[in-house]
Structure 1
C-alpha cells in the first residue's frame, strides 16, 4: 500500500505534547504569520506573547561563522529506498536489488549511485552522501519527528522541527514579505512542526501546483480573480474606509494602514512575484522538469533568492512503497534526479550554493531485502537501521561519502550518523547554537538539540565534510 494520506489531526495538550495540526495558508494569515500583515489578511489577532523560560547555564561553545543563509530541505516522506538509489549494492543479488541491479559512475572518482540518477551522477562534485544514517525507528510519525527535531518521540515536550527553529532564530533579522518558513506545497501532518513554539511558527504551506499554468498560492493568488480586479477591490476598499480617513493620525489606524500596505505588497507586489514562475525562461523550466517536483525546486530557488531562511519541499506522492515499489521508483526517481540535479546547478549558477544548504532524505530508508510475498509482491518496508542522506552547499563539501553500510545495506558498517549529528551540523553551519534555549510557554527547560546526558546517541558532527 502506498500510504499517501496525511495523518489525522490530534488535539493540543497544555505542554504541546501532540499538536498535529498542519497549517493551511488561511490559518497562516489568521494567526499573523505574515507579521503585522497577518493582522489585516486574517482579520484576527496574533498569538499572545509567552514568557521566556528561566535562564540555564550551559557550557561555552566556540563561535562558528554562519555559512548558510538559507536552507532547502527536500523531504522524501514515506522513506526512499537507499540501495535502489544512492547506496547501491550490485553484488547483493536479485533478492536485494530486484530490478535495479546496476550502479553508475559519477563525476567524482570512486563514487557510484543507482542507475536511475544519471543527472545527479554529473553533479556529485556539488554534494556529499551520508550512507550511514541510523536511528532504528520504523514508524512514520515517530521517525519523522526524530529526523526533524533529533529529540526522542514520546518525551513530555513536543519539540519544534528544524524549520520552526530556523524561523524562531532568523525572524529578527529577516525583512522579507514572505514568511520565514515555507512548505511546498502541502504539510504532511506527521507531527506538529511548530511544537511548543506555537502557531506563529507553523510553516506557511503554499498549496497549489507550481507546474500548473498558474501557481495558485493560497492567500496570495486568488483563483478566478485577475490582478486588475484585485487592484480595483483595493482601491474601492480604500475609498470606503471613511473611519480610516477620519482618524488617519491615530496610532492604531496608522499601524493598521502599515499592515495593509505590507499585505498588498505580498498579494500584488514583489511578494507575489516570487511565486510567479512564468518570469523564468521556458528553457530553464524545462531543464528542471515540467512536473510538480521539478517546479517545486525552481520555486525553492526563487524563495531563497528572495532571502527566505527555510524552505521545505515535501515530495509529491511520497515514497511509502510497500507495494508497486519498482514501478513507483521508475516513475519518481527520474523526476527526483532531474529536479534536484538542476537545483544544485542553478544555485551554483546564481552564486547561491555557497550560502544555501540543501539536504535531502526521508524519515528512514526501505528494507534492503525485497518482500516478494503477497500482498506486497515485490515491495520494500520501513527501515531505520541504515539509510542515506544527501547534503550540499551552505558549508558542506561536495564530492564525498560519509560512512558506509554493510555489503547488503542492512546495517551501518562504518561511522554511524544519528539525527542529532545531521541537524547539529546544519545548525552549526547556519550559526544557530544547538545548546540554545527555546521559549516554552510554561517555562519548561528546553534546548534546540538534546545533549548526551539526555540519552541522545551521537557519532559527532559531520566535520569531515564541513568547511
Structure 2
C-alpha cells in the first residue's frame, strides 16, 4: 500500500509539480517530490493530536480575535442562511434575501452593508450540536467540550489568554482578554484555569459621552481631579518619606504606578473614544454595539489577543420580527464598519472576526399567543460568520435544507470552529492546558458528536 496515497499527499504532489513548472527547476519531479515528501512529510500531520490532516497544513497568521457573541441565539435564516422561498410560516415579513458582492451568496434582507462586503468573510451554515438550553449550548460553543465530567473547561478567550497573554508587547498593562461590556454569563469563562485567565470586563457604555471603564474611569471624577487626589496621597505618605528605599514599600509603589498608568496614562487613554474622529464614530453607529466594535478595533490595534463583544437581545421568544427590525440594522452597521476599518488599516489579515450565538432559532414561526410571531431555541442547525486572520472571504461552508431545519451538507461542530481559530493563532488544539491537579487535559477533545474526529475548516482557510 502506498503510504502517500491519501488526499493531502495527492494535493502535495500536485502543488510541488506546479511549483517546479513555475520555477523551471532542472530536477525531475520524482526526485523533487521524494525530497519534499520524506524531508517534510510530517507537515501533513496535525502535530499533537494524532489526526491525519485532510488538507495541507496552514501556518499561523492571526494575532488577535474579535468575538461578537450574539447572546441568546440569533435566527440563522434571518441573518446568514436566508430561505425566502420557504414561505410566511418560516420567513414572516423577512421574505426576501440580498445578493451580495460575491455571486451566488445571499444574506438576510436587513443586512445591506454586509452584503457589499461578502468578499471579506466566510459563512458557516451547518453548525450543529443539538442542545436547546442556553447554558449547555453556550458552554459547547465557547469551549468546544460537552458539559459533564469533573472539569469545567475554559472558554476560547481564556485559552488564548493562557497561550498568548505573555508580556503583551506594545499592549503593556492592558489585559489579554477583554469583554465589552458585560460578562457573558451562563458559564465560567476561565474554567479550571482560574483567576489568571478571567476576562477584564469593562462595564460602562462606550456610546455614552464618557466611557466609564470599571477601575479605570470613575464616574463623575475628571482627570484633573484624579491628579489632585494623587498629589494629596503623596503629601500624606509620611511613612514612605520616613523609610526611603524600604523593599516592601517599593513593591507597593510599583503597583501603584501601574494602577495610575491605567487611570491617567496612555494605557487608560486607549479607552477614550473621543480620540477617534466623529466621522469614524458615526460610521460605526452611535449605539452600544457600534461603539463596542470601534473599541474592539482599538484594542486589537494595540495588540490585545482576545476581545469579546457581548451583544445581547437575541433571545426572541416573542415578537421576534419587531426585535429584528432593531437588532439587524445595528449589527449590520457596526460589523460592516469593523470589517472595513480592519481591512483599510491592514489589520484584517491578522485579526479573526467570529460572529455567532449559542444556537439558532426555530425556523418555523410561532404565530399563536403568547408568542405572537416568536422563535424558540434551536441547536440542530445554526450559522456563524468568520473573517480575517487566515479565513478566506467570499466562501460558504455547509448547507441546511429548504426550510433551514436540518443540516444537509458538511455538519460542523463548534469544536471544529475553535480548532481552526486556534490553529490560525498558532495554538495547537491538542496541546495540554495547565490543570490545577496536574491532569493531562487537552485544549480540545479528540472527537466530537458520535465519535467523529475533529476536522479543521480547510475549505474556508487560506493555504500557504
Instruction: State TM-score, norm by structure 1.
Output: 0.85
Deviations 1:162-217 (A, max 9, x none): 00111111122424211111000001211000101112221111111100011111
CA distance in 2, matches of 1:162, 1:184: 15
SS in 2 for 1:104: strand
Which of 103, 114, 139 is matched with 1:109 structurally?
103
Q: What does residue 98 of structure 1 align with?
A: 92
Q: What does residue 159 of structure 2 align with?
A: 165
Which of 354, 360, 363 is matched with 2:355 structurally?
360
Deviations 1:426-449 (A, max 9, x none): 000001111111112122331110
Q: What does residue 291 of structure 1 align with?
A: 287
Deviations 1:346-392 (A, max 9, x none): 01111111111100010000001111122212111100111110000
Is this contact kept in 1: 2:413–2:448, CA < 8 A?
no
Q: What does residue 437 of structure 1 align with?
A: 432
> Which structure is larger by alpha-carbon Rg, 1 or 2?
2
Equivalent residue runs for 1:307-326 within 5 Å: 307-315=303-311, 317-326=312-321
SS in 2 for 1:311: strand
Which of 86, 89, 107 is matched with 2:83 structurally?
89
Aligned residues: 410
Large movers: runs of 4+ above 6 Å: 60-63
Query: RMSD over aligned Cα, in angstroms?
Result: 1.8
Q: List runs of 5+ in structure 1 lacking aligned partners.
A: 1-56
Alpha-carbon deviation of 1:91?
0.9
Which of 119, 126, 132 is matched with 1:125 structurally?
119
SS in 1 for 2:442: coil
Q: List runs of 5+ in structure 2 lacking aligned partners.
A: 1-47
Which of 141, 146, 163 is matched with 1:147 structurally?
141
CA distance in 2, matches of 1:388, 1:231: 49
Alpha-carbon deviation of 1:245?
3.4
SS in 1 for 2:441: coil
CA distance in 2, matches of 1:105, 1:319: 24
Is 1:346 the counterpart of 2:359 in the alignment? no
SS in 1 for 2:164: helix
Q: What does residue 183 of structure 1 align with?
A: 179
Is 1:238 the counterpart of 2:234 in the alignment? yes
CA distance in 2, matches of 1:460, 1:215: 41
Is this contact kept in 1: 2:318–2:371, CA < 8 A?
yes
CA distance in 2, matches of 1:453, 1:419: 9
Equivalent residue runs for 1:245-284 within 5 Å: 245-284=241-280
Alpha-carbon deviation of 1:342?
0.3
Equivalent residue runs for 1:12-23 within 5 Å: none
Q: What does residue 444 of structure 2 align with?
A: 449
Once the two structures are overlaid, the 10-residue window that deviates more, 171-180 or 406-415, is 171-180
Q: 1:286 to 1:58 in 2, by over 3 A?
A: closer
Structure with bigger helix share is 2
